[in-house]
Amino acid sequence: MKTRFVIVMGVAGSGKTTVGQALARHLGWDFYDADVFHPAENIAKMASGIPLDDVDRLPWLRSLRALIATSLEENSPAVLACSALRESYRRTLLEENEAVLLVYLKGDYDLVWSRISARQDHYMKQQMLRSQFETLEEPDDVLTIDISMSVEEIVREILRRLEV
């Protein structure tokens, strides 16, 4: 089955949004940022430096799963930037759907923190980034890309592996 939906995953600061937008532009597909789908309570919690728990994430994951299903049903291919840190979250999002490609943007803590600390007005705090790395269950059955490459190189690598 041809890929019709791409999820770009990784911790905050790994480049999900930047890579996802560049990939979507190149393909002429829609782009979605999973952060936009968080309820206001989740955003307030994160802005206060409090990591989300699985109860907080469940409605968010369900809304993202619905987005993916609708995009596929309507033949409207898209790219989604989403942390998807745990295997259970990825299972919820993917539902064993072969039309979805999962891309893991992998980088070490120091590189990611240097990117986040350079941002203006971002809600991610250093302790929350540590929490993301602690929560991260690295996938082994997805396209894994080193974030030390340029955005253009990353997009080229995804396109090389993408069946569209």
Give domain limits for the chain.
5-161
Q: Is 3.40.50.150 the CATH number for 5-161?
A: no
Structure tokens at 128: 């929350």
Structure tokens at 52: 């989300």
- Please state, as a whole number, how many other Cβ atoms lie within 10 Å of the Cβ of residue 158: 24
Indicate the DSSP class of residue 158.
H
Indicate the DSSP class of residue 28.
T
State pTM to two decimals.
0.91
Report the alpha-carbon distance of residue 49 to residue 127 in Å, rounded. Answer: 8
Please provide the distance, in angstroms rounded to a whole number, between the alpha carbons at the two ends of the chain: 9
- Please state, as a whole number, how many other Cβ atoms lie within 10 Å of the Cβ of residue 58: 12
Each residue of 124-158: pLDDT tens digit?
Answer: 556 678 888 999 999 998 999 999 999 999 999 99
Burial class (CB in 10 A: 0-12, 13-18, 19+), 164: exposed
**Radius of gyration, CA atoms only, the chain:** 15
Q: Which pLDDT does position 46 carry in this prediction?
A: 81
Structure tokens at 151: 């955005």
Indicate the DSSP class of residue 21.
H
The answer to whether residues 87 and 41 touch, using CB atoms and an 8 Å cutoff, is no
Each residue of 32-45: pLDDT tens digit?
Answer: 999 899 999 998 98
Q: At what angle do helices 40-47 and 54-73 cross, to 10 degrees?
A: 130
Each residue of 73-128: pLDDT tens digit?
Answer: 999 999 999 999 999 999 999 987 889 999 999 999 999 988 887 765 555 556 67
Q: How big is the CA angle at 87 (ends 83 and 92), to the nearest 5 degrees?
A: 80
